């Protein structure tokens, strides 16, 4: 997710063009991240030290890690850590940018600091974001005062979207709202020891990628069939959440519903999390210890 967020930041700040960014995403699938780049990114080596080891590699029949250890720049344990990070999406993103000479490592590091400032994240939070682990990074975008069970509810929803709909989706910062309008909604309530509601609310035709992917067929409009597919996905998410909750408290799922056209969603406190799928924004609305209400907009 971070490679998409950082990529958007680089494009919006004029550091990469739209064409360059598309090129990076295409090449990212093929690249193998160099240990020197990872070592610099993880602050285990300086740029000068990594360049020195890279230059030595051209004259010595030795691996980067072995040379770095012999020079005293890295330990065996650190090299093992670097090797484990070669599949990291942020690092492969950076590797392609440098391979294509779009930006230098120094320029990327400066842009990364600006990106961190724009998010208002601490270094620890940025490390969680860079890890790519959903359980660590999704909570960074949720309100600080959110209930732990509510947080888990959202985690199940977003991780399911990543797994079933779009591995390259990204999220924005959530906020508490009491009312929000949507262009077509799918919703399901949970009743029991802790009432809850989960809804995917569309903006224009933004629900189409979810409906088409989950149903395995292309929908041309956010009609009843498309919304029914979205509702079935929510039913799957709630089923997983209910299963996770079963040892702690009792919950029961009500039948999912959907409504076409303009609707207003309301509740005392709705967590509204923007999710971007295939370039389209979907708002994931969740209520815990409460219930969402839907009213058509005339």
Dump pLDDT digits (tens) for 169-190: 999 999 999 999 999 999 999 9
pLDDT band at 36 (very low <50, low <70, confident <90, very high): confident
Topology adopted by domain 136-296: Chemotaxis protein chec (3.40.1550)
Residues forming CATH 3.40.1550.10 domain(s) in the chain: 136-296
Rounded Cα–Cα distance for residues 97 and 41 (Å): 14
Rounded Cα–Cα distance for residues 265 and 29 (Å): 40
Rounded Cα–Cα distance for residues 245 and 249 (Å): 6
Tell me what percent of the residues of the chain surpass a pLDDT of 90: 65
E-state strands within the chain = 170-171, 175-192, 196-202, 251-253, 257-277, 280-288, 293-296
Rounded Cα–Cα distance for residues 128 and 137 (Å): 6
Position 34 scores a pLDDT of 85
CA-based angle 93:69:133, to the nearest 5? 35
Position 297 scores a pLDDT of 62
Rounded Cα–Cα distance for residues 107 and 76 (Å): 30
The mean pLDDT of the chain is 91
CA 105 to chain centre: 24
For 224-275, what is each residue's pLDDT tens digit? 999 999 999 999 999 999 888 777 777 788 999 999 999 999 999 999 999 9
| Buried-state track 46-74, b at ≥16 Cβ within 10 A, e below 16 | eeebbebbeeeeeeeeeebbbbbbeeebb
- pTM exceeds 0.85: no
Rounded Cα–Cα distance for residues 179 and 195 (Å): 18
Asked if 88 and 132 touch (Cβ cutoff 8 Å), the reply is yes
Side-chain-side CA neighbours of 65 within 13 Å: the count stands at 13
Residues in the chain: 298
Side-chain-side CA neighbours of 274 within 13 Å: the count stands at 10
For 61-106, what is each residue's pLDDT tens digit? 888 999 999 999 999 999 998 888 888 888 899 989 999 999 998 9
For the cut 80, the answer to whether the pLDDT of residue 197 exceeds it is: yes
> Which residues, other chains included, contact 231 with Cβ-Cβ below 8 Å and sequence gap of 6+?
186, 187, 188, 256, 257, 258
For the cut 70, the answer to whether the pLDDT of residue 298 exceeds it is: no
Asked if 230 and 186 touch (Cβ cutoff 8 Å), the reply is yes
Rounded Cα–Cα distance for residues 152 and 80 (Å): 32
pLDDT band at 139 (very low <50, low <70, confident <90, very high): very high
What phi, psi does 176 have (nearest 5°)?
Answer: -80, 135
- The token duo for 119 is 């998010």
CA 283 to chain centre: 14
Position 133 scores a pLDDT of 85
Asked if 279 and 170 touch (Cβ cutoff 8 Å), the reply is no
Position 102 scores a pLDDT of 96
């Amino acid at each position: 997710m971070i490679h998409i967020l950082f990529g958007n930041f680089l494009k919006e700040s004029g550091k990469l063009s739209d064409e360059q960014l598309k090129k990076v995403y295409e090449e990212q699938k093929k690249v193998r991240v160099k240990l020197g780049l990872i070592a610099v990114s993880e602050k285990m080596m300086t740029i000068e030290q990594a360049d020195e080891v890279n230059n030595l590699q051209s004259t010595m029949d030795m691996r980067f890690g072995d040379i770095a250890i012999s020079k005293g720049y890295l330990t065996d344990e650190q090299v093992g850590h670097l090797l484990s990070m070669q599949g990291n999406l942020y690092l492969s993103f950076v590797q392609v940018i440098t391979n294509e000479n779009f930006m230098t490592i120094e320029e990327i590091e400066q842009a990364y600091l600006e990106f961190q400032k724009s998010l208002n994240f601490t270094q620890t939070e940025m490390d969680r974001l860079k890890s790519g682990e959903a359980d660590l990074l999704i909570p960074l975008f949720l309100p600080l005062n959110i209930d732990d069970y509510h947080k888990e509810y959202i985690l199940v929803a977003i991780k399911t979207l990543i797994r079933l709909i779009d591995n390259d989706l990204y999220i924005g910062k959530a906020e508490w709202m009491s009312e929000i309008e949507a262009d077509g909604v799918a919703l399901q309530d949970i009743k029991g020891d802790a009432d809850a509601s989960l809804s995917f609310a569309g903006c224009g035709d933004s629900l189409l990628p979810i409906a088409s992917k989950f149903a395995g067929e292309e929908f041309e409009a956010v009609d009843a069939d498309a919304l029914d597919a979205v509702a079935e996905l929510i039913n799957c998410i709630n089923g997983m959440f209910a299963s996770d909750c079963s040892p702690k408290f009792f919950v029961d799922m009500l039948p999912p519903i959907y409504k076409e056209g303009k609707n207003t969603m309301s509740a005392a406190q709705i967590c509204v999390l923007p999710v971007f799928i295939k370039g389209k924004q979907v708002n994931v609305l969740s209520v815990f210890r409460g219930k969402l209400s839907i009213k058509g907009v005339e």
